[in-house]
Each structure stands twice: as C-alpha cells, then as structure tokens.
C-alpha cells in the first residue's frame, strides 16, 4: 500500500491523544482533594512548582530565542521555525507533567486515607497518565506536522532534497533536546539539593523523620520530586522519542539498502505509524489498569507495561506486512526479508524488557540487602557497595544493547537499528505514566506525614512509592538503552551525509576527536555534580540557619520558612544548568569547524561509548543506594541506627547520580549527534572540509548555505 495518504494525517492522532489527556485530567480534578490542612500543603507545593516553572521557563525561552536567531542567520527560516516548534512541544510536555503531578498528589493522599490502596493506586496512575499521554500526543503531533510541512508539502517525494527535510526534522529534535537537557539538569539540581538538605540536616543531624513538618526543606523536596521526576523526565522521554523518529527518517533517506520511491516513503512513514500505534496502545493501557490490578502495586505497574508492549507488537505486524519494503544491499548482494523492520521492532521491544529485568536485579532486594549489610561498617562501605552494583549492572545491559544492535542490523541493516530504538520508545505514553507515578506517590506520602493522616495512610503511600521507585529505575535504564540505539542510527546518518566510510583509528585527527568525545560526558557529569554539590551546600546552610536562629521550629510552635528553601533551590538550579548545557551544545560545533568532519565523527563515537556507560553506572548505582536506604529505614529499629546514617550518606550521593548527572548523559549523546547532523551543510561549506560530502542532496545543501551566507555578508 502507499502510506503517504495516511501518513499525512497522522498528526491528527496527536490531537486525539490530547483530547483523551484532557478527559483523564478532568476526571482527576473532580476527585476529593482532602481536608483544609491537606489543601494548604498542596497549595504550598503548587506555589513552589509554579515559581520553579516560571523562572526556568524565562531562562529557556531566552535561550530558544537566541538559538533560533542564530539558526535563522546560518540555516534559514525553516531550521529556526522547526527548532522553536520542538522546543515549545518539549516545554509543553515538561510543564504539563509538572502541573499534573502537583495536583494529583493531594488526591492520592486522600485516596490513601479512604478508601485505600487500590483507589490511591488508580489516582496516582491517572495523574501519571496525564503526563504520559501528553508526552505521547505531543510527539505524534510534532512529528506528524514535521512530515507534512517538511516532506509532503514542498513537492513530490522523489524531488525532495536535503534542503527540504534536512533543515527541518533535525532542528525540531534539537529544539526538544535543548529543553530536555536544561529541564533534566535544572529539575535534577533542584530535586537533589533539596533532598540532600532535608536528609543530612533533618534525618542525620536533627534526628527527625522523613517529610517532617519541622524540616524547612521538606516542601522544597516535594517540589523537587515533581520538577525532576515529571517535568525533567517528560521532556527527556519526549526528546528521546522524537530523536528516535528523526534517526529512522534520516537513515531511511540515505541507507543504501533502501532504494526507490516505495522503499524511501515506507522507511519514512514506518516510525510515524509506530508512534501513532504506540499512542493508541498507551491510551488503551491506561484503561486496562482496573483489569490488571490483581497483585501488588509493583506487579500491577509491570503488567500494564508488558500489556502495552504486547498490544503494540500485535498491532504493528499487519502495518509492516502491508508496507512495501524491498531491502537489498547491492554492494554485498544481500537481500533482507520484507518483514525485517518488524523483527527489528520486536528486537528493540524485547531488549527493553530484558534491560528492565537486569536493572531490577541489580537495584532490587538482593543488591539492596548487600548494600544494607555493608552499611554496618559505615558510609565508606555503603558507598563502595553501591559503586560495585552500578558497575556490575552496566555490563549485562550493554551486552543486551549490543545484541539488539546485532540482531536489528542483521535483519534490516542500519535502518533496523533505528527501528529498534523506536520499538523501545513507541509506548512512551505508558512509560512516562509509570515514571510519573513515583513522584506523585512520594508527594502523597509527604502530605500524609505533614497532615498527620495516620500510619495506615502512610503505609499505603509507602507501598506505592516503593513500587514506583522500582519502575523508575527500570525506566531510566530503558531510556539510556534507547539513547544508545538512537545515537548509533544518528551517527550512521551523519556519516552518510558527510561521506564517511568509517572511522580510521590510526588517523591522529580522528583519534583526537574520539578521545575528546569520550571526555565530554565526563566533563558534563563533573560540572553537573559540582552544581549539585554547590546547591546542596547552600541548602544545608539554609536549613541549619533556620534551626539555629529559630529554635521554636523544632518545638513545633513556629513553622519553618519553606519558601526560602524553594527559592534557593530554584536559583541554584538555574545557575548550575547553564555551563553544562553550553558545553553540550558547543562541543560538536567547535570540533567540526576546527578539526573537520572526520574528527567530529570520532567525537560522536567516543561520546556515545562513555556516555552510555556513565549513564548506566550512575543511574543504577543511585537506585541501589536509594532502595538500600529505604530497606533499612523501614526495618524495625532501622531509623537512627549506624546502618541508617551510612545509608543516608550513600543515598545522598546516589541522588546526584541518578537524578541529575546520569539522566543528563542520554540526552547529551543524542543532542550532540543531532547538532552534528543539522550543521552538516554549514560544516561542508567550510574550507577545512572542502571536497567532503556524501550524496547529491548534501552537495545541494552546501550550495544553498553558501549562497545564503554570501547574501547575508553582502
């Protein structure tokens, strides 16, 4: 079948998804928000979230405006407009998730009080569904419109050249990636600084319980859960899905196994069909929750995700079967199965499930028990045990990613690798729903504690939060794995467009690029952790100051100044996210313009290798520390013990790892590849890259940019 007629209208599914999102939101806000005390606490969290969103939004808007102007001068109005479109969609996804979370938390707390766990589970899941379906819908809307405006409307498909699609699609993803990087870093710095301040001063020094109303950083900690766990992750998963789609489109337009009109249009249409089906499946999975709520909260969340994956694979088989794929490598004479892209989707989906199982093993009860046992010997032993768990987990996850790459490539070439990434991310709606579930449950537990709703309600929210944390760790590894596949596909497209046949590791210039690229994730991680450390020190000093200057806070007769802590965390987050973000954006531009496209190719390879390994290590080590602390905290006699104090120290280090530095890595490696892809025309117009270039469309793009530059310079 010719898919173009249907593909032209897939963006309408995005509007449909937003409609379902509104319906779920309307049902959620009609639920009872609790008593006056609970509503007052929720209002404080909402006010803090609004202050954070307003201030970080101003900074991101200024960045988007400046970057769009530069893109307009260098690449034209198409790139600038697409960049702004991607940034706006990512911001909408982030802020939609944030405000859904801060309104679902108090309703989850009320449901935990009455009628109980099942109702609280459904309420928190509905709040997460608002964030999840908003992300999936905006992905479909943005990607669908980019296809329509960038490929279909300029003319007949066979006549489309790099200038039409190459300016628009990568720039859209870069806009989304820029916002994701800033939102993930900013939200992570906010969350971690508040968490460390609340833990180290409140739990360790003042010996007061978690979420105690006397702790000045408690409200900031709850706001940070929403800022990092929903806003940051929503923009992250939005960017991941969009980047996977762009990678598949870019490879589909240049891969040598895909020749002719029908193959090209099928290759470009398949990723759009996949995320459209994924959106519909995610909507269905939200309504399947009641049927699947038969075990523990953790089992229910896992079953919903597995059901969504199974439905997606079932729905995609007839679509791939009907698309006219005819894959063959003329150079080697190899002919691939016309169902090769479906097997690549299957490989990506199964790899995601396997990565989840590996992560659960290395961050779950067994690993937590080992770290808890090591904690009896003090903080140093706790930290070493967590580092070991993180390092161990990286190896089998990386091998699983390698298996997915090998199987996908064997079944449908480089295009299969890009399709495998889409297989992991297509059901992003339900993935984001489950991830947002954790901060909503955590906030609900805080409201229960602050509002003195009793131990029964607290046990319900603790059970939900524990289940949510387990799934969040899995989803973090899942996102990193998909980033690896997407980055490889983007690198393949970059290599094709600049005419690279491979990386020559005996070429000193390429080796320089490879080594510098490998160092970039370390530099960004170091800058991010330094920002977290600086912000945490400021938060600790503020909490100590309030305890010292106002002793009545500990007596419970004077409320702490929570607003000061929220404002401090916001300011430190804004300050800390700028330099790492600039490094991520500037690195590929400088490398490509100073040392050439070969060196930039080496940089992308080096950054992908170290970025994936760092991300896996930091994310899984942080989750293992967190779960070990929770295990000790809930054990009889655990709170206040030597083991508990050591676990709090390890958890504080883990927060910086899993909530800020680790998640930034998967955005970093994709953003570097996307920027490299988008600036190919400009790079090939530079004297250092003279004579370079891949297919004819790239040569046309170089001529176009040269004419544009000449016109701008008079």
Q: Residue 324 in 3-state DSSP? A: coil
pLDDT at residue 159, rounded to an integer: 41
pLDDT (tens digit, 9 = 90+) per residue, 56-65?
888 888 888 8
pLDDT at 137 over 90: yes
For the cut 50, the answer to whether the pLDDT of residue 555 exceeds it is yes
High-pLDDT (> 70) share of the chain, %: 89
Residues 437/471, Cβ–Cβ less than 8 Å: yes
| Segments of 163-314 assigned E as strands | none
Instruction: Answer yes or no: is 1 within a domain.
Output: no
Question: Is 638 or 348 the better-scoring residue by pLDDT?
Answer: 348
The whole-number pLDDT of residue 391 equals: 93
pLDDT band at 125 (very low <50, low <70, confident <90, very high): very high
| Position 238 pLDDT exceeds 80 | yes
Give domain status of residue 292, yes or no: yes
Q: Select, from the ranges 200-209, 576-585, 623-632, the one with the highest average predicted confidence (pLDDT).
A: 623-632
A 10 A CB-CB count for 207 gives 10
> Which whole number is the average pLDDT over 153-173?
57
Least confident segment among 61-65, 323-327, 476-480, 583-587: 323-327
Q: Would you say residue 24 has pLDDT above 50?
A: yes
Give the per-residue pLDDT at 713: 44
pLDDT of 330 reads: 53
Burial 165-176 (b: 16+ CB within 10 A, else e): bbbbbbbbbbbb
Predicted local distance difference test score (pLDDT) of residue 116: 83
Q: Provide the pLDDT for residue 258.
A: 55
Token duo for residue 246: 């762009």
pLDDT tens-digit readout, 644-699 = 888 888 888 988 898 888 888 888 888 888 888 878 877 888 888 776 655 444 44
* E strand spans, 182-223: none
> 438 in a domain, yes or no?
yes
Across the chain, mean pLDDT equals: 83
pLDDT of residue 261: 55
Is 335 contained in some domain? yes
Tell me whether residue 282 is in a domain.
yes
d(CA 675, CA 186): 21
**Over 90: is that where the pLDDT of 616 sits?**
yes
Beta bridge partners of 4: none
Per the domain annotation, does 185 fall within a domain?
yes
Q: What is the pTM of this model?
A: 0.86
* Rounded distance between C-alpha atoms, residue 612 and residue 668, angstroms: 10
Domains: count for the chain: 1
d(CA 143, CA 269): 11
**For residue 163, what pLDDT is reported?**
46
pLDDT at 329: 55
- The larger pLDDT score, comparing residue 6 to residue 536, is at 536
The string of pLDDT tens digits covering residues 433-457 is 998 898 898 889 888 888 888 888 8
Model confidence at 349: pLDDT above 80 = yes
Of 63-67, 138-142, 378-382, 634-638, the one with minimum mean pLDDT is 634-638
| Residue in 74, 48, 94, 410 with CA at minimum distance from that of residue 220 | 48
DSSP string, 570-586: HHHHHHHHHHHHHHHHH
Cα 357 to Cα 410: distance, rounded to the nearest angstrom: 25
The pLDDT score that the predictor gives to residue 712 is 40
Burial of residue 332, with CB atoms counted within 10 A of its CB: 0-12 exposed, 13-18 middle, 19 or more buried:
exposed
pLDDT above 90: residue 162: no
pLDDT of 344 higher than 80: yes
| Residue 260: inside a domain | yes
Residues 489-500 have pLDDT tens digits of: 888 778 877 877
Q: Running DSSP on this structure, what letter comes out for residue 561?
A: -
pLDDT band at 708 (very low <50, low <70, confident <90, very high): very low
What radius of gyration, in Å, describes the C-alpha atoms of the chain? 25
Least confident of 195-199, 318-322, 424-428: 195-199
* pLDDT value, residue 3: 58
Confidence of residue 560 (pLDDT cuts 50, 70, 90): confident
Averaged pLDDT for residues 314-332: 75
Nearest in space to 226 (alpha carbons), one of 282, 178, 188: 188
Q: What is the pLDDT of residues 388-400, one digit of tens each?
A: 999 999 999 999 9
Least confident segment among 128-132, 160-164, 612-616, 657-661? 160-164
Task: Say how far apart CA 536 and CA 201 lie, in whole Å.
Answer: 11
Residue numbers of the domain that contains 383: 7-712
> Looking at the domain assignment, is residue 2 inside a domain?
no
The Cα–Cα gap between 133 and 674 comes to 25
pLDDT in tens, 245-290: 888 877 777 665 555 556 677 777 888 899 999 999 999 998 888 7
**Which residue in 342, 352, 343, 272 sits closest to 305, CA to CA?**
352
């Amino acid at each position: 079948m010719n898919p173009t007629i249907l593909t032209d209208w897939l963006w309408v599914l995005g509007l449909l998804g937003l409609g379902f999102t509104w319906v779920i939101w309307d049902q959620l806000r009609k639920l009872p928000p609790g008593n006056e005390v609970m509503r007052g606490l929720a209002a404080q969290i909402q006010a803090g979230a609004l202050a954070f969103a307003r201030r970080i939004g101003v900074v991101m808007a200024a960045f988007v405006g400046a970057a769009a102007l530069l893109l307009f001068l260098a690449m034209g109005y198409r790139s600038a407009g697409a960049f702004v479109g991607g940034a706006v969609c990512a911001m909408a996804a982030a802020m939609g998730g944030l405000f859904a979370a801060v309104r679902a938390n108090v309703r989850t707390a009320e449901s935990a009080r009455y009628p109980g766990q099942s109702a609280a589970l459904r309420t928190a899941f509905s709040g997460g569904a608002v964030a999840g379906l908003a992300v999936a819908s905006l992905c479909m809307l943005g990607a669908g419109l980019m296809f329509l405006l960038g490929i279909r409307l300029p003319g007949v498909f066979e006549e489309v050249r790099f200038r039409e699609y190459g300016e628009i699609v990568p720039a859209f993803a870069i806009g989304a990636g820029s916002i994701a990087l800033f939102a993930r870093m900013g939200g992570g710095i906010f969350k971690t600084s508040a968490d460390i301040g609340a833990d180290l001063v409140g739990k360790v020094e003042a010996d007061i319980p978690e979420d105690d109303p006397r702790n000045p950083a408690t409200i900031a900690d709850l706001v940070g859960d929403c800022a990092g766990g929903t806003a940051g992750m929503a923009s992250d998963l939005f960017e991941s899905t969009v980047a996977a789609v762009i990678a598949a489109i870019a490879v589909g337009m240049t891969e040598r196994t895909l020749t002719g009109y029908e193959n090209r249009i099928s290759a470009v249409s398949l990723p759009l069909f996949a995320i459209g089906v994924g959106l519909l499946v995610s909507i269905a999975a939200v309504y399947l929750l009641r049927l699947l709520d038969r075990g523990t909260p953790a089992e229910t969340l896992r079953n919903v995700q597995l059901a969504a994956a199974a439905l997606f694979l079932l729905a995609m088989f007839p679509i791939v079967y009907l698309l006219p794929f005819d894959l063959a490598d003329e150079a080697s004479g190899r002919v691939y199965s016309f169902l090769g892209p479906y097997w690549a989707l299957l490989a990506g989906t199964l790899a995601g499930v396997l990565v989840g199982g590996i992560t659960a093993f290395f961050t779950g009860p067994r690993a937590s028990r080992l770290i808890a046992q090591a904690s009896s010997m003090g903080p140093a032993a706790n930290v070493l045990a967590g580092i070991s768990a993180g390092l161990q987990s990286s190896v089998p996850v990386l091998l699983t990613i390698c298996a997915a790459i090998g199987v996908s490539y064997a079944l449908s070439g480089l295009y299969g690798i890009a399709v495998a990434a889409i297989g992991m991310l297509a059901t992003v709606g339900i993935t984001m729903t489950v991830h947002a579930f954790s901060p909503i449950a955590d906030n609900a537990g805080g409201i229960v504690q602050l509002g003195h709703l009793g131990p029964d309600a607290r046990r319900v929210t603790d059970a939900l939060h524990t289940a949510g944390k387990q799934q969040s760790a899995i989803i973090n590894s899942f996102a990193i794995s998909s980033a690896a596949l997407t980055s490889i596909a983007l690198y393949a497209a970059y290599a094709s467009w600049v005419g690279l046949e491979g990386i020559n590791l005996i070429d000193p210039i390429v080796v320089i690029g490879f080594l510098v690229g490998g160092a970039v994730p370390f530099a960004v991680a170091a800058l991010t952790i330094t920002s977290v450390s600086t912000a945490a020190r400021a938060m600790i000093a503020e909490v100590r100051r309030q305890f010292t200057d106002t002793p009545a806070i500990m007596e419970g007769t004077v409320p702490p100044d929570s607003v000061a802590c929220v404002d401090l965390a916001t300011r430190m987050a804004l300050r800390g996210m700028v330099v790492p973000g600039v490094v991520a954006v500037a690195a590929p531009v400088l490398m490509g313009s100073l040392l050439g496209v070969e060196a930039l190719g080496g940089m992308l390879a080096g950054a992908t290798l170290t970025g994936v390994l760092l991300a896996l290590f930091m994310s899984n080590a942080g989750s293992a520390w967190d779960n070990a602390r929770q295990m000790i905290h809930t054990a009889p006699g655990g709170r206040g013990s030597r083991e508990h104090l050591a676990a709090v120290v390890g958890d504080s280090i883990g927060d910086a790892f899993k909530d800020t530095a680790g998640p930034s890595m998967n955005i970093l490696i994709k953003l570097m590849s996307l920027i490299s892809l988008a600036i190919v025309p400009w790079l090939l117009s530079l004297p250092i890259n003279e004579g370079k270039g891949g297919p004819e469309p790239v040569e046309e793009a170089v001529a176009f940019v040269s004419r544009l530059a000449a016109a701008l310079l008079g």
